[in-house]
Amino acid sequence: MSGSNSAVAIRRPNLAARAARLLGQWGVFFRGFMEEPRMVGAVIPSSPFTVAKMLAPVDWNRCEVFVEYGPGVGTFCQAVLDNLRRDGALIVIDTNPLYIDYLRRVFRDSRFHAVLGSAEDVESIVAAHGYDGADYVLSGLPFSTLPEGVGPGIAAATHRVIRPGGAFLVYQYSAQAKAFMARHFKRIDNGFEWRNIPPCRLFWGWKQSESSEG
Ligand SMILES: C[S@@+](CC[C@H](N)C(=O)[O-])C[C@H]1O[C@@H](n2cnc3c(N)ncnc32)[C@H](O)[C@@H]1O
């Protein structure tokens, strides 16, 4: 799937404010990378092109609960909040306390919940927020450098937590994540975004709705 960008509203504050915010964000992100290079797996945050392309297939009308793994400094968070309905929830999960502290300071929105923890525990984290599942789960995790066994465990837990008709959205520099996804998701759409450092692959794994067969 190539994914059109038209459905995703990206906020555009004035240039100076945007540049200041970006520099602050990038500094925090780079500090996190220096401290935990294998867990962070990238030197700078994803590009706005990746954000728009990744989120383009999301049906915001049916999205009550949106979960993000590895938000880092929140590169996707504002775009998700801009599109998420008023009674929706964005639950972000990151293992790095530096990023979680930063996100809690920057995103002052009652729909936003930043959790210090691992994506492996997504089911208990979603339940602790009062929900029986998530409509979409987005992952920025560096699957290829995570400790042995963690990636497959996360893919399995993600399939269990996603509500029928929902999707697992993944961007990665390698195809490793797709192998983990393919064990659980029958339909996986593929994309590629070269306007990212480095260019990245995008995957959308769809969980079948209750009405579909198989
Ligand atoms: C490549 S960075 C993603 C950055 C951000 N989403 C972006 O697009 O700019 C990967 C993130 O995954 C986090 N992480 C690594 N292992 C994790 C795990 N098991 N559960 C949750 N977050 C994890 C890291 O702390 C880091 O913030």
Sign of CA pseudo-dihedral 21, 74, 79, 174: positive
Tell how far the Cα of 170 is from the centroid of ligand 1, in angstroms: 12
pLDDT digits (tens, 9 = 90+) for 25-77: 777 777 777 777 777 667 678 999 999 999 999 999 999 999 999 999 999 99
| Ligand 1 contact via 71 beta carbon (within 6 Å) | yes
Q: How does the average pLDDT of the chain come out, rounded? A: 88
Q: How confident is the model at residue 186 (pLDDT cuts 50, 70, 90)?
A: very high
Query: What does the pLDDT average to over 179-203?
Result: 94
In this predicted structure, the answer to whether residue 78 has a pLDDT above a threshold of 50 is yes
Give, in degrees to the nearest 5, the angle at Cα 109 between 19 and 166.
Answer: 100
Cβ neighbours of residue 127 under 8 Å, at least 6 residues apart? none
pLDDT digits (tens, 9 = 90+) for 84-143: 999 999 999 999 999 999 999 999 999 999 999 999 999 999 999 999 999 999 999 988
pLDDT digits (tens, 9 = 90+) for 14-39: 666 666 566 677 777 777 777 777 77
Instruction: Give the pLDDT of residue 49.
Output: 97
Instruction: Give the pLDDT of residue 173.
Output: 82
d(CA 181, CA 162): 13
Residues 111, 132 contacting (CB under 8 angstroms): no
| Ligand 1 contact via 151 beta carbon (within 6 Å) | no
| Ligand 1 contact via 99 beta carbon (within 6 Å) | yes
Tell how far the Cα of 75 is from the centroid of ligand 1, in angstroms: 11
| Ligand 1 contact via 40 beta carbon (within 6 Å) | yes
d(CA 19, CA 81): 20
Pocket test residue of 30, 38, 40 for ligand 1, highest count of atoms within 8 A of CB: 40
In this predicted structure, the answer to whether residue 151 has a pLDDT above a threshold of 80 is yes
Tell how far the Cα of 85 is from the centroid of ligand 1, in angstroms: 25
Identify the CATH homologous superfamily for domain 46-206.
Vaccinia Virus protein VP39 (3.40.50.150)
Sign of CA pseudo-dihedral 86, 51, 208, 176: negative
Instruction: Give the pLDDT of residue 6.
Output: 47
In this predicted structure, the answer to whether residue 5 has a pLDDT above a threshold of 80 is no
Give the start-to-end residue ranges of the domains of the chain.
46-206
In this predicted structure, the answer to whether residue 3 has a pLDDT above a threshold of 60 is no
